[in-house]
Amino acid sequence: MSDVAGRARTPFLLRLSMVLAALGALLSLALFLHAGPYTLVVFMFLAQPLLLLAVALFAVQVLKDLRRERLL
Amino acid sequence: MSLPPITNSLLAAGPEADLGLPPPHGWIGTADDWARGLGIAFVVLALAILAVSWGRLRRAGLTPGLKELLVIPLVVLPPAIVFFGYSYGIERSKSIGSCGSCHVMKPYLADLQNPDSSTLAATHYKNRYIQEHHCYTCHTDYGMFGTVRAKIAGLGHVARNLSGRYSLPLKIAHPYPNSRCLACHAESQKFRKSEGHPKEDLPKLFSGETSCIDCHGPAHPTVTREASR
């Protein structure tokens, strides 16, 4: 299957959730590697909301799938 | 103000550094070490699974197996990363290296470690009256919300340092409360029997009418210009 076809079949919310989770994880890594006031602030106000948003978007996508398949 | 070399080496070493001997770690490490190690492990695991999943998505689209795999980096690992991030980050933010990582704090750290200094902070530091987290111990209220208030104030410090909205000499935001001194000193015999603290004056000290700093200050040197970068 081509890349374009693969992307087309992948829900946008899921892809967005993956990107946000990766960004949140990378920003968290900065804190673990170099703990300081700035990395802590970035972790609290950027990384944590990104990870939370990633979880929420994944949950929305799962609910959508369940409704589409009439399991909910 | 020129800094003694020892301070520069401390700051270069980062927030982990302190001049004293490293605290005992035991063979298994401290809770901090574990929080950091597990945090890094979970972040790397999440990134690896996300990278593999992204590749599979592009090649074969979304399969039931991939959906199940994505539960790990999108549901299971984020709360764990956040938990260990706070465990490690909040604890490390109490170190003097963390307070000293802002440039404006360098002279205060230099004074802390200056053996010739007679400021209250230096006296406490060089005599190891406080074992660790020296800045944090004296600048945080006791009680349930002491830490919360200190962290909120810390956010303000970061914002002001970042924006440069501060003026020298730095001044404490609120009058220094005696309760922070008395939490350690009030019950000590040296304090109770001191001629400088007659019994009739104790109520004034406990109520805050008389400030400890009035007689025992200055707590820090007066810094009127920033240390050279």
Q: How far apart are CA A29 and CA A51, in angstroms?
A: 13
* CA-derived radius of gyration, chain A: 16
Q: Which residue from B minimizes the CA distance to A28?
A: B85
Distance from CA of B84 to the nearest CA of A (A): 9
A22 touches chain B (CB under 8 A): yes
Name every chain B residue with its beta carbon within 8 A of the beta carbon of A5: 61
Q: How far apart are CA A39 and CA B93, in angstroms?
A: 10
Which of A40-54, B85-99, B133-147, B167-181 has the highest average model confidence (pLDDT)?
A40-54
pLDDT tens-digit series, residues A41-66: 999 999 999 999 999 999 999 999 88
**For testing contact with chain A, the best of B43, B56, B94, B95 (most A CBs within 10 A):** B43
Is residue B5 pLDDT above 90, yes or no? no
Q: How far apart are CA B55 and CA B4, in angstroms?
A: 53
* Nearest CB to A9; choose among B36, B62, B77: B62
Q: How many CB atoms lie within 10 A of CB B16?
A: 13
* Nearest CB to A35; choose among B15, B58, B70: B15
| pLDDT tier at B178, thresholds 50, 70, 90 | confident
Name every chain A residue with its beta carbon within 8 A of the beta carbon of B88: 31-32, 35
Q: How far apart are CA B82 and CA B84, in angstroms?
A: 6
- CB contacts under 8 A, A 30-49 vs B, are 31-41, 43-44, 47-48
B94 touches chain A (CB under 8 A): no
Mean pLDDT of the B177-193 span: 86
Who wins on pLDDT, B70 or B183?
A: B70
Q: How far apart are CA B199 and CA B178, in angstroms?
A: 16
Distance from CA of B83 to the nearest CA of A (A): 10
| pLDDT tier at B34, thresholds 50, 70, 90 | very high
ipTM: 0.87
User: What pLDDT sits at residue A39?
Assistant: 93
Inter-residue contact B89 to A43 (CB < 8 Å) = yes
Is residue B19 pLDDT above 60, yes or no? no
CB contact under 8 A, A37 and B78: no
Q: What is the pTM of this model?
A: 0.77
Lowest mean pLDDT among A25-34, B190-199, B219-228: B219-228
User: What pLDDT sits at residue B21?
Assistant: 62
For B157-190, b where at least 16 C-beta lie within 10 A, e where not — what string?
beeebeeeeeeeebeeeeebebebbbeebeeeee
Q: Which residue from A minimizes the CA distance to B33?
A: A32
| pLDDT tier at A5, thresholds 50, 70, 90 | low
- DSSP code per residue over chain B: -PPPHHHHHHHHH-TT--SSPPPP-TTT--HHHHHHHHHHHHHHHHHHHHHHHHHHHHHH---HHHHHHHHIIIIIHHHHHHHHHHHHHHHHTTSHHHHTTSGGGHHHHHHHT-TT--SHHHHHHHTTSS-S-HHHHHSS--STTHHHHHHHHHHHHHHHHHHT---SSP--SSPPPHHHHHHHHTT-HHHHH-TTS-GGGHHHHHHTSS-HHHHH--SS----SPPP-
Inter-residue contact B220 to B119 (CB < 8 Å) = yes
Mean pLDDT of the B73-81 span: 96
% chain B with pLDDT above 90? 20
Inter-residue contact A42 to A30 (CB < 8 Å) = yes
User: What pLDDT sits at residue B153?
Assistant: 81
Mean pLDDT of the B109-129 span: 87
And the tokens for B62? 């979304």
Which of A49-58, B87-96, B106-115 has the highest average model confidence (pLDDT)?
A49-58
| pLDDT tier at B225, thresholds 50, 70, 90 | low
User: What pLDDT sits at residue B217?
Assistant: 76
B74 touches chain A (CB under 8 A): yes
| pLDDT tier at B180, thresholds 50, 70, 90 | confident
Inter-residue contact A44 to B159 (CB < 8 Å) = no
Is residue B24 pLDDT above 80, yes or no? no
Among A47, A42, A25, A48, CA closest to B40: A25
Name every chain A residue with its beta carbon within 8 A of the beta carbon of B93: 35-37, 40
Q: Which residues contact B221 (CB under 8 A, 6 or more apart)?
A: B107, B108, B111, B117, B119
Lowest mean pLDDT among A38-42, B52-56, B185-189: B185-189
- Name the average pLDDT for chain B: 82
